[in-house]
Structure 1
Amino acid sequence: MPSTHTATRYAYDAFLSYSHGADTKVAPAVHRALSRLAKPWNRPRALRIFRDQASLEAGPDLWATIEAKLSTSRHLVLLASPQAARSPWVGQEIAHWKQHREPATLLIVLTSGTIHWDHTARDFDRTRTTALPPQMFGWFAAEPLWVDLTWAGSETELSLDHARFRQDVGTLAAALHGVSKDVLDSEEARQHARTVGVRRALTWSLAFFLVASLVFGVMAQVRGDEAERQRKEADGQRRVATVRALLAESENRLAGDPRTAVRLGLTAYRVRPSTETRTALVNALQRTPYAGVSLGPDDVGQFVRQLSHDAGVLATAGEGTLKLWDVSQPGRRRLLHRLTAPRGNVEDLAFSRDGRTLFVAATQGHALWDITTPGKPRPLPGLPGATGLNGGGFGDGDRTLATVREGKGSSGRLDLWDVAAPDRPRRLASVTGLYDATRVQMSPDGKTVVSATGKITLDEADTGKITIEHGSGMTAWDTSDPTRPRRLGRDAPWAGALAFSPDSRTLISSHARTAYVWRIRPMRAPQLLSQLRGHRADVTAAAFRPDGKAAITLDGRGGAVRWDLARPDKPHARRRLLDADLSRGEDVAFTPDGRHVREVDFRDAVASWRTDLGPGPWQRAQVAADPVAVAAVAISPDGRTAATAGMQALMLWDITDHDTPRRLSVVRGFSGNPTDVAFSADGRYVAGGDDASRVVLWDASNRRHPRKTATLRTRGPVASLAFSPRAPLLVTSGNQPRLTGGIDGWATLWNLKGGRPAQMRSYTLKSFTNAGVASFSADGRLLALPGAGSGLFDMSDPNRPRHLTWDPGAVLQQDTAFSAKRKLLAVGDSVYQVNGTSLSEPAVELPDAPDRGGRVAFHPDGDLLAEADDRGTAVLWDIGDLRRPHVAAELPPADESVDDVAFTPDGRTLLTAGGDGMLRLWDLGRLPAAAHDPKRLACQVAAGGLDRTQWLRYVPGLAYQDLCR
Structure 2
Amino acid sequence: MPSTNTTTRYVYDAFLSYSHGADAKMAPAVHRALSRLAKPWNRPRALRIFRDQASLEAGADLWATIEAKLSASRHLVLLASPQAARSPWVGREIAHWKQHREPATFLIVLTDGEMHWDHSARDFDRTRTTALPPEVFGWFEAEPLWVDLTWARSETTLSLGHARFRQNIGTLAAALHGVSKDELDSEEARQHARSVGVRRGLTWGLAFFLVVSLVFGVMAQMRGDEAERRRKEADGQRRVAAVRALLAESRSRLADDPRTAVRLGLTAYGLLPTTETRAALVDVLRRTPYAGASHGPDETGPFVRRLSDDAGVLATAGKGTLKLWDISQPGRRRLLHRLTSPRGTVEDIAFSRDGRTLFVATTKGHALWDIATPDRPRPLPGLPGATGLDGGGFGDGDRTLATVRDGKGSSGRMDLWDVADPDRPRRLGSVTGVYDATEVQMSPDGKTVVSATGKVILNEADTGKTTIEHGSGMTAWDTSDPARPRRLGRNDAWGGALAFSPDGRTLISSHSRTAYVWRIRPSRAPRLLSRLRGHRGAVTAAAFGSDGKAAITLDEQGSAVRWDLARPDKPRSRGKLLATERRGGQDVAFTPDGRHIREVDSRDAVASWRMDSEPGPWQRAQAAADPVAVAAVAIRPDGRTAATAGTRGLVLWDITDHDKPRRLAVLHGFSGNMTDVAFSADGRYLAGGDGASRVILWDTSNRRHPRKTATLRTRGPVASLAFSPRAPLLVTSGNHPRFTGRIDGWATLWNLKGGRPVETRSYTLKSYTDASVASFSPDGRLLALPGAGSGLFDMGDPNRPRHLKWDSVAVIQQDTAFSTKRKLLAVGERVYRVNGTSLHKPAVELPDAPDRGGRVAFHPDGNLLATADDEGTAVLWDIGDLRYPHVAAELPALDDSVDDVAFTPDGRTLLTGGGDGTLRLWDLGPLPAAAHDPKRLACQVAGGGLDHTQWLRHAPGLAYRDLCR
* TM bucket normalised to smaller: 0.7 to 0.9
TM-score, L = length of structure 1: 0.76
1:872 maps to which residue?
A: 872
Following TM superposition, where does structure 1 have runs of at least 4 consecutive aligned residues deviating by more than 4 angstroms? 217-227
Q: Render the CA deviation track for 1:331-368: whole Å, top value 9, x for unaligned.
A: 11111111111111100001111111111111011111
Structure 2 letter corresponding to 1:372:
A
| 1:81-160 matches, cutoff 5 A | none
Measure how far apart 1:877 and its partner are: 0.9
2:604 maps to which residue?
A: 604
Question: Does residue 511 of the first structure (1) align with residue 530 of the second (2)?
Answer: no
Secondary structure of the equivalent of 1:681? Answer: coil
Contact 2:557 2:579 in 1 (8 A): no
1:9 maps to which residue?
A: none
2:257 maps to which residue?
A: 257
Measure how far apart 1:788 and its partner are: 4.6
1:901 maps to which residue?
A: 901
1:20 maps to which residue?
A: none
Measure how far apart 1:613 and its partner are: 5.0
2:887 maps to which residue?
A: 887
Report the Cα distance in structure 1 between the residues aligned to 2:258 and 2:903, rounded to whole angstroms: 29
2:717 maps to which residue?
A: 717
Please say which of residues 935-944 and 695-704 is displaced more in the overlay: 695-704
Measure how far apart 1:851 and its partner are: 2.9
| 1:326-337 matches, cutoff 5 A | 326-337=326-337
1:581 maps to which residue?
A: 581
| 1:382-461 matches, cutoff 5 A | 382-461=382-461
Report the Cα distance in structure 2 between the residues aligned to 1:227 and 1:889, rounded to whole angstroms: 42
Question: Does residue 830 of the first structure (1) align with residue 822 of the second (2)?
Answer: no
Report the Cα distance in structure 1 between the residues aligned to 2:263 and 2:858, rounded to whole angstroms: 29
| 1:268-417 matches, cutoff 5 A | 268-299=268-299, 301=301, 303-417=303-417
Report the Cα distance in structure 2 between the residues aligned to 1:790 and 1:420, rounded to whole angstroms: 69
Report the Cα distance in structure 2 between the residues aligned to 1:300 and 1:255, rounded to whole angstroms: 28
Question: Does residue 820 of the first structure (1) align with residue 826 of the second (2)?
Answer: no
Structure 2 letter corresponding to 1:654:
D
Measure how far apart 1:500 and its partner are: 1.0
2:569 maps to which residue?
A: 569
Measure how far apart 1:482 and its partner are: 1.0
Contact 1:824 1:833 in 2 (8 A): yes
Measure how far apart 1:228 and its partner are: 3.4
1:478 maps to which residue?
A: 478
Report the Cα distance in structure 2 between the residues aligned to 1:896 and 1:713, rounded to whole angstroms: 31
Measure how far apart 1:668 and its partner are: 1.7
In the superposition, relative to structure 1, how do residues 222 and 744 fare at CA in structure 2: closer, same or farther (>3 Å)? closer
Structure 2 letter corresponding to 1:956:
P
Report the Cα distance in structure 2 between the residues aligned to 1:896 and 1:220, rounded to whole angstroms: 62
Contact 1:790 1:804 in 2 (8 A): no
In the superposition, relative to structure 1, how do residues 853 and 300 fare at CA in structure 2: closer, same or farther (>3 Å)? closer
Q: Render the CA deviation track for 1:136-186: whole Å, top value 9, x for unaligned.
A: xxxxxxxxxxxxxxxxxxxxxxxxxxxxxxxxxxxxxxxxxxxxxxxxxxx
2:937 maps to which residue?
A: 937
| 1:171-210 matches, cutoff 5 A | none
Secondary structure of the equivalent of 1:331? Answer: coil
1:210 maps to which residue?
A: none
Structure 2 letter corresponding to 1:681:
A
| 1:635-714 matches, cutoff 5 A | 635-714=635-714
- Mark the runs of 5 or more structure 2 residues left unpaired by the alignment: 1-216
Please say which of residues 888-897 and 785-794 is displaced more in the overlay: 785-794
Report the Cα distance in structure 2 between the residues aligned to 1:912 and 1:338, rounded to whole angstroms: 50
Measure how far apart 1:763 and its partner are: 1.8
Q: Render the CA deviation track for 1:235-279: whole Å, top value 9, x for unaligned.
A: 111111111111111111111111111111011001011111111
Q: Render the CA deviation track for 1:653-695: whole Å, top value 9, x for unaligned.
A: 2222322222222222222222111111222211111111111
Contact 1:764 1:788 in 2 (8 A): no
2:747 maps to which residue?
A: 747
Contact 1:852 1:871 in 2 (8 A): no
1:963 maps to which residue?
A: 963
Secondary structure of the equivalent of 2:524? Answer: coil
Structure 1 letter corresponding to 2:617:
P
Across the two proteins, how many residue pairs are aligned to each other?
Answer: 750
1:545 maps to which residue?
A: 545
Question: Does residue 855 of the first structure (1) align with residue 855 of the second (2)?
Answer: yes
Question: Does residue 759 of the first structure (1) align with residue 772 of the second (2)?
Answer: no
Q: Render the CA deviation track for 1:383-429: whole Å, top value 9, x for unaligned.
A: 11111011111111111111111111121111111112211111122
Report the Cα distance in structure 2 between the residues aligned to 1:379 and 1:796, rounded to whole angstroms: 60
Structure 1 letter corresponding to 2:440:
V
Report the Cα distance in structure 1 between the residues aligned to 2:961 and 2:347, rounded to whole angstroms: 45
Measure how far apart 1:225 and its partner are: 4.7
Report the Cα distance in structure 1 between the residues aligned to 2:260 and 2:402, rounded to whole angstroms: 43
- The two structures, once aligned, show a CA RMSD in angstroms of 1.9
Contact 2:615 2:925 in 1 (8 A): no
Contact 1:789 1:811 in 2 (8 A): no
TM-score, L = length of structure 2: 0.76
Measure how far apart 1:479 and its partner are: 1.2
Larger radius of gyration: 1
Q: Render the CA deviation track for 1:524-553: whole Å, top value 9, x for unaligned.
A: 221111111120211110011111112100
Contact 1:560 1:576 in 2 (8 A): yes
Contact 1:786 1:813 in 2 (8 A): no
2:615 maps to which residue?
A: 615
Measure how far apart 1:601 and its partner are: 0.1
Report the Cα distance in structure 2 between the residues aligned to 1:476 and 1:382, rounded to whole angstroms: 26
| 1:789-804 matches, cutoff 5 A | 789-804=789-804
Please say which of residues 611-620 and 273-282 is displaced more in the overlay: 611-620
Measure how far apart 1:316 and its partner are: 0.4
Structure 2 letter corresponding to 1:639:
G
Contact 1:287 1:613 in 2 (8 A): no
Structure 1 letter corresponding to 2:518:
W
Measure how far apart 1:221 and its partner are: 8.6
Secondary structure of the equivalent of 1:741? Answer: coil
Please say which of residues 411-420 and 281-290 is displaced more in the overlay: 411-420
Structure 1 letter corresponding to 2:371:
I
2:840 maps to which residue?
A: 840
2:203 maps to which residue?
A: none
Report the Cα distance in structure 1 between the residues aligned to 2:846 and 2:891, rounded to whole angstroms: 18
Measure how far apart 1:732 and its partner are: 0.8
1:949 maps to which residue?
A: 949
Report the Cα distance in structure 2 between the residues aligned to 1:549 and 1:586, rounded to whole angstroms: 22
Please say which of residues 675-684 and 811-820 is displaced more in the overlay: 811-820
Report the Cα distance in structure 2 between the residues aligned to 1:702 and 1:413, rounded to whole angstroms: 58
